[in-house]
Amino acid sequence: MLTGVTRQRILITGASSGLGAGMARAFASRGRDLALCARRTDRLDELKAELAQHHPAIKVAVAALDVNDHEQVPKVFAALSEELGGIDRIIVNAGIGKGAPLGSGKLWANKATIETNLVSALVQIETALEMFHKAGSGHLVLISSVLGAKGVPGVKAAYAASKAGVRSLGESLRAEYAKGPIKISVIEPGYIESEMTAKSASTMFMVDNATGVKAIVGAIEREPGRAAVPRWPWAPLVQVMRIVPPGLAKRFA
């Protein structure tokens, strides 16, 4: 069910490519003003020019941000908010998919994934909540993953753990803000074509980027507590993943 609330000014992290850029295009087509940040400013500038050409009526603000530079997160969010005259929705999307089997001697890869996907997400969450408290309302969207539903052996163990952590933070916040004024949504995408999934060995239930982004944006607009997307087949599969033995979970990865 749609909320009837229009979140006009939307901030998206990790917006230079993949799902982040796709969401930016989708929200721009709905007439929303956008605050986009990512490490790769050349891609952000190209995206801003594209959006300005196709949607001249909207405002688009861009800024360089490495979410692992924790001191910069509140500064960049504040600057983007000032440029747009406020932020109504923040989408914590920035993430990476590095990984190696635990104990294989590649701690750096697993550590980077946990730090970017979970620790830096926490920094973004803290910043977003502080902004929304001052504004009196807002919609915080956490991009988790269907792999956050179950521990996954092998190279995706750290990634699954990081996304499970994001989901858990979202569930805690949903309970804390059950009566508002801040809305919390945890979105759990399945396999969607992007730079991150390009190197994935699994193509099970993979959908193209346009289909995946449409499902994600549609879910975000409904402002659910949580949603696995695309709904079919991932909504039922996530429930199955939570109860199957750990060894079988690898079949979904």
Q: How far apart are CA 207 and CA 194, in angstroms?
A: 10
Taking the C-alpha atoms of residue 66 and residue 206, their distance in angstroms, rounded to an integer, is 28
Angle between helices 41-54 and 18-29 (to 10 degrees): 20
Q: Which of 155, 234, 222 is nearest to 191 (CA)?
A: 234
Give the whole-angstrom CA distance, residue 186 versus residue 141.
Answer: 6
* Helix (H) or strand (E) segment spanning residue 163: helix 157-176
Show the CA angle centred on residue 164, arms to residues 121 and 191, nearest 5°.
Answer: 95
Are 140 and 183 a contacting pair, CB within 8 Å? yes
Instruction: Give the active site residues.
Output: 159
Report the C-alpha gap between 4 and 223 in whole angstroms: 10
